[in-house]
Structure 1
């Protein structure tokens, strides 16, 4: 009898100033789909204060996941929530750049929503691909990407991007679709009463 394959894995990186809807909805939807999600704090395992004052406690410090002290995991998807301060912190982080570069080189999925695509740009991830972001970040991204204004979620190969808090369910479901297929999207959408 064949054994059941392990579930896909996702890493959601959070920093102070992360957008809470984009963080929590994404993690929730992925976990509903059966994806094994780890929430990693950029500056450690202590609670992070999100953009609207809500605090989130990461599962683990990002450097513990990456450098092997916590198992040295690889992930099927690495996801960056937005929130301007959080996105700027991820853009400034060499560790995030390391994670994203390895993810891209391995051909695994990368997701970024709202302001987070500025971290992709800073770390030279997915250059020339189609993407979108929060409208306030469009001008920063147009020169290096095929910027899309008229789609709420843009999927180009292994890169999934989206526009903001109001598009988070669609963003998360696009990641589910990439990892588990449209049947799983249909299965979890009904109970959430998304339509």
Structure 2
């Protein structure tokens, strides 16, 4: 059986606990995890000033696609940076087209919305994004929502 693979996207301002705990749990489960920096391989400052070094750049990581799951940690600025990246948009659209898992944590569903990914799905997020996300999604108050290939933990 082939090893499952995950790509965790690391953007400036990401919520470090959502990043590190996701990577830790996936690696403990035997998943091959790649942490890709949106801006290259330089260390990235997260939302609480923790600095994390990506394994590779997003540009290099996409050459190794497809991944079984793409994980988008939240963090307000991190989610804004994910939303602003056309490279992230193309990667997520391809993941959706191929029916592969996407996990968007806390504020990160706003990045999916920016790239028109998962439209119409049921989701949850950090509560302050409810109104914004209700425009294109069915918002749930649950702590975790799974809809098809999409996984949405609220925080």
TM-score of the two chains, using structure 1 as the length reference: 0.78
Give the C-alpha shift of residue 162 in structure 1. 1.2
Q: Report the equivalent of 1:123.
A: 115
- Consecutive unaligned residues of structure 2, counting only runs of 5 or more, are none
Q: Report the equivalent of 2:154.
A: 163
Bigger strand share: 2
Q: Report the equivalent of 2:58.
A: 62
1:10 aligned residue (6, 20, 26) = 6
The whole-number CA distance in structure 1 between the counterparts of 2:100 and 2:22 is: 18
Please show how residues 18-167 of structure 1 align to structure 2 within 5 Å. Answer: 18-66=14-62, 68=63, 72-149=64-141, 151-164=142-155
Give the C-alpha shift of residue 136 in structure 1. 1.0
The whole-number CA distance in structure 2 between the counterparts of 1:160 and 1:82 is: 13
Residue 3 of structure 2 aligns to a residue in which SS? coil
Aligned alpha-carbon RMSD (Å): 0.7
Residue 155 of structure 1 aligns to a residue in which SS? strand
Give the C-alpha shift of residue 127 in structure 1. 0.6
- Consecutive unaligned residues of structure 1, counting only runs of 5 or more, are 165-195
Q: Deviations over 1:84-139 (max 9, x none)?
A: 10100000100000100000000000000010000000001111110000001111
Q: How many residues align?
A: 155
Q: Deviations over 1:117-170 (max 9, x none)?
A: 000000011111100000011111012100001x11100010000111xxxxxx
Rg larger in 1 or in 2? Answer: 1
Bigger helix share: 1
The whole-number CA distance in structure 2 between the counterparts of 1:143 and 1:44 is: 33
Give the C-alpha shift of residue 73 in structure 1. 2.6
